[in-house]
Amino acid sequence: MKNKVIIITGGSSGIGKACAEHFGKAGSKIVITGRNQENLDKEVKALQKAGIDALGVNADVSIENDNIKVITETINKFGKIDVLINNAGISMRALFEDLDVSVIRKVMDINFYGTVYATKYALPYIIKSKGSIVGISSIAGYRGLPGRTGYSASKFAMQGFMESLRTELLKKEVHVLVACPGFTASNIRNTALSKDGKTQGESPRDEEKMMSPEEVAEAIYIAVKKRKRDLVLTMQGKMTVFLNKWFPSFMDRMVYNHMAKEKDSPLK
């Protein structure tokens, strides 16, 4: 990956930050995006201090023109794009019957349309470099999670989009990877939206028992190098995907019972 130009949306925290550091240490040139200028500047400085050629672009992936800006600034600085990692994302937790539908719209705008916009404007350059497009999805993109209807819908949509795109690009030698971490220790649950769109603020799960962002980043790096099609992480994640395919009714009950054990779960 030496001298490859990598764009990572939502690259100032969590999995995106870990990917920026991992790819950067391997010699890649890094572009990260984020909505918080302070956090963005802090991470760019940390990358540069580690000897990594890095650029930060203040951008909201849910805004189409912001994605155009990211691509323009990347080309102006580096002249090419080799890998796009669609990482920016947001979660939510509430029962659908209690949920303001604006929450689902916001989640879809960031998780799904953010991927669509970034991919659309990076695509001509990635076709030229025969590079890679990565979608950071979730096990929730294989198995709908109760209390997370909007999040699951956005990840199912992302995976359908990526699969269709992969097939369209088959003859153009563009690599498309769908990466599905299991529960990962990051701030996504802290920033998750509640039923009225307010930030949840506190994770309902034990973050210390989860996979670290650095472990996820290493697995994604290897998958991009090997141009793998799919990446499903953690044994729990692999078992969920397998059992849901062959024993869906059984998994309805298993998933309900598992998610009901979360702290302050909306499930009774």
Query: Which residues have a catalytic role annotated?
Result: 151
Sheet with 54-58: list strands edge to edge: 54-58, 29-34, 5-8, 83-86, 132-136, 175-180, 230-232
Residue 35 three-state SS: coil
CB distance 31 to 76 below 8 Å? no
User: Is-contact 33 10, C-beta < 8 A?
Assistant: yes
Written as one letter, the residue type at 162 is M
The rounded distance, in Å, linking the Cα atoms of 60 and 7 is: 14
Q: Are 8 and 19 in contact (CB under 8 A)?
A: yes
Q: Cβ distance 186 to 13 under 8 Å?
A: yes
**In this structure, what DSSP letter does residue 212 have?**
P
State the alpha helices, DSSP H only, in the chain: 14-25, 37-49, 64-78, 101-108, 114-129, 149-168, 213-225, 235-246, 248-260
- 3-state DSSP helix/strand/coil percent for the chain, to nearest 5? 50, 15, 35
